[in-house]
Structure 1
Amino acid sequence: MAIVQSFIASRKFVSTLSSGTGTGAAFAIAATSFTNDTGATITAFPSAFAYYNLYINGVLQTANTSTLSTASITIPDGDTLDGATPVLVELIVT
């Protein structure tokens, strides 16, 4: 029998690619560069989540496009995109 989570919600965070640092495979955007749904700057991404979705310029990205930690999201070659491009990270928390 499958275990069913009793609570599922999402947390959304937004920034732009110009907030990132590094180049190529090392390009990352710090969690402190993101704001949450209330417009407040965050200090870290949640450490416990079921999965996350990454949207670049409103387009959902495939799972191999990024790596998420509590401190940052790494988007290889994200530095080649326009800095004004919006980035939205949605974490599904349980």
Structure 2
Amino acid sequence: MALQLMKLLITASTTTNVVPSPQKFFYVTAAETAAGSTLTVDAASFFQDDGAAATALPALTSSNSYFNVYINGVLQQQGNSTYTPGATTIGSLAFAVPAGGSPILQNTSVVLEVVNYAPASTTTVAT
């Protein structure tokens, strides 16, 4: 019998599920923030979706997360915001009100939305 080349037949398929984990935090301004100033909100000043006081702002997962800031229901440009995760006195949101613009008035709603993704993959190999 002649020699033969023996090959393995292997197939594989991968399924990836990307599951978002959104969290929303709410704040109502206590005073006016003038144009050219920065509104800084400590983690403990926010309240959560269920109305409970927030104790910490979540960490952003590297390359799998983002945050949005809404002021008076309007999505704001990312470059005006600085987000720092963590507990009270560490965690905060700082929003730089553009100079020459309108101030943020007292009793204005501020919504912080933090979305982290938790991708999970499974691979099935058949021989």
**Gap change, CA 1:32 and 1:91, over 3 Å in 2:** same
- 1:93 is aligned to 116
- Alpha-carbon distance between aligned partners in 2 of 1:59 and 1:37, rounded to the nearest angstrom: 18
Q: Is the 8 A contact 2:46 2:54 kept in 1?
A: yes
Q: Is the 8 A contact 2:70 2:111 kept in 1?
A: yes
- Which structure has greater helix proportion? 1
The letter of the residue matching 1:54 is: V
- Alpha-carbon distance between aligned partners in 2 of 1:20 and 1:47, rounded to the nearest angstrom: 29
Instruction: Calculate the TM-score normalised by the size of structure 2.
Output: 0.61
Q: Which runs of 4+ in 1 moved over 4 A?
A: none
Aligned with residue 17 of structure 1, among 26, 29, 48: 29
Q: Is the 8 A contact 2:26 2:46 kept in 1?
A: yes
- 2:74 is aligned to 59
Aligned with residue 69 of structure 1, among 84, 96, 112: 84
- Structure number with bigger Rg: 2
Shift of 1:16: 1.3
Work out the percentage of aligned pairs sharing the same amino acid.
31
Q: Is the 8 A contact 1:19 1:29 kept in 2?
A: no
The letter of the residue matching 2:72 is: N
Aligned with residue 44 of structure 1, among 40, 48, 56: 56
Shift of 1:10: 0.6
- Which structure has greater strand proportion? 2
- Alpha-carbon distance between aligned partners in 2 of 1:69 and 1:5, rounded to the nearest angstrom: 28
**Gap change, CA 1:41 and 1:15, over 3 Å in 2:** same
Q: CA RMSD in A?
A: 2.4
Count how many residue pairs are aligned between Structure 1 and Structure 2: 88
Structure 2: 5+ residue runs without aligned partners? Answer: 1-15, 86-90, 118-127
